[in-house]
Amino acid sequence: MNRRADKSSEITFSTSTTGRRHAVVLGGSLAGLLAARVLSDHFDRVTVVERDSFPATASPRRGVPQANHVHALLPRGRLILEQLFPGLQPEMMAAGAPLLVMGKDLAWLTPQGWGVRFKSDLEVLTFTRPLLDLHVRRHLIADARVRVMENTEIVRLLAGKQPERIAGALVRVHGENSDKVVELQLTADLVVDATGRASRAPRWLEELGYTAPKETIINAHLGYASRLYRIPDDFSADWKCAFVQAAPPKRKRGGILFTVEGDRWLVTLIGGGRDYPPTDDAAFLEFARSLRSPIIYDAIRRAEPLSPIRGYRGTENRLRHFEEAIHQPENFIALGDSVCAFNPVYGQGMTIAAMGAMALDECLHKQKGAPETFARQFHERLAKVNAAPWMLATSEDYRYRETEGGSPTLATRFMHRYMNHVLRLSTFDASVRRVLLEVFSMLIEPSALFRPRIAVRVLGNTLGFVRPPKSAARRASSNTLAYDAASND
Ligand SMILES: Cc1cc2nc3c(=O)[nH]c(=O)nc-3n(C[C@H](O)[C@H](O)[C@H](O)COP(=O)(O)OP(=O)(O)OC[C@H]3O[C@@H](n4cnc5c(N)ncnc54)[C@H](O)[C@@H]3O)c2cc1C
């Protein structure tokens, strides 16, 4: 997929104040690719600019270092991706990505005990992140309106003739096998920043005299370390993925074992509050053994490693409030991690990128006249998409004493207590567990956890009226794998 840039110093697509001739997307990871897909329905041409060259196979690349770690695509995200790229899911399954039934195939140790297993229709596709990116890219470049510029770095934004609009972006194209560098001015009717957490968009905007968005950072200092394993031939269990959650403030370690394409496991160990997981062989296993359950350690201790252990620490929650910035160009927007990046442990980032792309689609459909308010309208809409996942991630992060960036409010403390009860109920009550998983999957709003049916049970649990069946109580308090597949649906 090497679409080389023109060698001239300026690529000008005729633009107009209300026109939709050319859109430029900065960054070719998931948020950028999804934005490009949506924009191709509204613009004559879409150009995606990416610093890396894209691998021809499902392998990680420099610009997305997090791709070495478990990437869960929540059911809501999976549905949106299938809507944007029909056929994506069967293709990924044909490439070996397993489709799991969340309530049944996932062994999940919550801070309050093992989540009860139940029959459900909630499905989750599991894969390595590079496999997803490869398939999404293949779909996207099949669209003749989309062109991808690889090995191309964004340098800055270009000032427009009118103060309320930018003209496009200045980019630097690196020749693949030579030192030759060419600078190009890409003019555009709309510029979309999707360059991720480390986006320099705030600086680019300030350089042109616009207001940089305010930033909120809440950091629980989580570290990840991950490794691929071959699934042993004789391995057998009644689960396909295991998630051992940390239980801060005391138990700061967690881990995820994901069955992925190629009959492999991708194992990610996680430590919060600066208790970072190590990246050498023996210490990695020891860390796995120290989790609240040995389920992952028991699975991997004799399994054959297929990759080095790779670490990662850039996991802070970071929200850029574009919707509040006073002076912004009307034809510049940002989405994905560039606007809202989460502590990844809740698996929200890709789904939020997908929801952001859908919000962009809606705003472009609705936009009639008044283009001068487009950026604000979109950022306000996106802020609504981000609000609930941001609240979930940050309020849970305040359970770590080491978390920096504000302190828990009374409402947060109430949420912690309430959620403790919900999690406790979800260890034996399949109907509560179902609602919890649907909220977690972003299929329904978090407010569903406060519906009378659940609130009454929480109250009963608080007052000691709701007692788990004996088997469930044993299972919930066990720190070993002692659950039987409950089918109490
Ligand atoms: C450790 C970890 C685990 C995660 N696990 C999950 C998970 O389980 N589930 C989930 O949904 N999400 C997860 N996420 C989040 C997920 O990775 C992101 O939300 C997702 O990649 C979308 O991000 P993005 O496209 O906005 O930015 P990124 O993925 O960061 O991509 C930014 C792109 O911009 C390019 N770029 C940057 N600067 C420039 C420049 N100047 N010029 C040209 N190109 C540039 C980069 O090369 C890159 O391709 C995880 C994140 C981390 C850190």
The reported pLDDT for the residue numbered 6 is 41
The class that CATH gives domain 67-73+94-128+219-312 is alpha beta
Ligand 1 atom, smallest distance to 74 CA:
11
Pocket lining: 29 vs ligand 1, CB cutoff 6 Å: yes
Does the CB atom of residue 224 touch ligand 1 within 6 A? yes
Q: Which letter does DSSP use for residue 48 in this model?
A: E
Residue 192, SS3 per DSSP: strand
- Distance, C-alpha 409 to centroid of its chain: 26
For residue 69 and ligand 1, the question of a CB distance below 6 A is answered with yes
Tell me the C-alpha to C-alpha distance, in Å, between residue 34 and each of 29, 31, 210, 238, 359. Answer: 9, 5, 27, 35, 11
Residue 195 Cβ contacting ligand 1 at under 6 Å: yes
Superfamily of domain 10-65+133-217+316-393: FAD/NAD(P)-binding domain (3.50.50.60)
Which residues are CB-contacts of 397 (< 8 A; sequence separation ≥ 6)?
Answer: 218, 219, 220, 272, 317, 343, 403
Nearest to 46 by CA among 10, 12, 21: 21
> Strand pairing of 304-305 and 214-218?
unpaired
Distance 196 CA to ligand 1 centre (A): 5
pLDDT tens track of the chain, all 489 residues? 333 334 446 555 444 444 789 999 999 999 999 999 999 999 999 999 999 999 999 999 999 999 999 999 999 999 999 999 999 999 999 999 999 999 999 999 999 999 999 988 899 999 999 999 999 999 999 999 999 999 999 999 999 999 999 999 999 999 876 678 999 999 999 999 999 999 999 999 999 999 999 999 999 999 999 999 999 999 999 999 999 999 999 999 999 999 999 999 999 999 999 999 999 999 999 999 999 999 999 999 999 999 999 999 999 999 999 999 989 999 999 999 999 999 999 999 999 999 999 999 999 998 865 567 899 999 999 999 999 999 999 999 999 999 999 889 999 999 999 999 999 999 999 999 999 999 999 999 999 999 999 999 899 888 887 777 766 655 555 544 433 333 332
133 lines ligand 1 (CB under 6 A): no
pTM for this structure?
0.92
Q: Which residues contact 207 (CB under 8 A, 6 or more apart)?
A: 156, 157
Tell me how far apart the alpha carbons of residues 76 and 391 are, in angstroms, rounded to a whole number: 18
What's the pLDDT score for residue 446? 92
pLDDT score recorded for residue 472: 61
Question: Is the Cβ–Cβ distance between 273 and 248 less than 8 Å?
Answer: yes
Q: Which atom of ligand 1 is nearest to the CA of 337?
A: 26
Residue of 200, 196, 228 lying closest to 212 (CA atoms)? 200
Q: In what order do the strands lie in the sheet with 152-159?
A: 10-11, 181-187, 166-174, 152-159
Hey, whose CA ends up nearest to atom 18 of ligand 1?
349
Give the residue whose CA is nearest to atom 28 of ligand 1: 196
Tokens of residue 293, six digits? 């359950």
Domain ranges of the chain: 10-65+133-217+316-393, 67-73+94-128+219-312, 410-477
Q: Is the CB of 350 under 6 A from ligand 1?
A: yes
Cα(418) to ligand 1 centroid in Å equals 32
Beta carbon of 31 within 6 Å of any ligand 1 atom: yes
Can you tell me which atom of ligand 1 is nearest the CA of 72? 8
Structure tokens belonging to residue 31 = 């948020």
Atom index in ligand 1 nearest the CA of residue 152 equals: 43
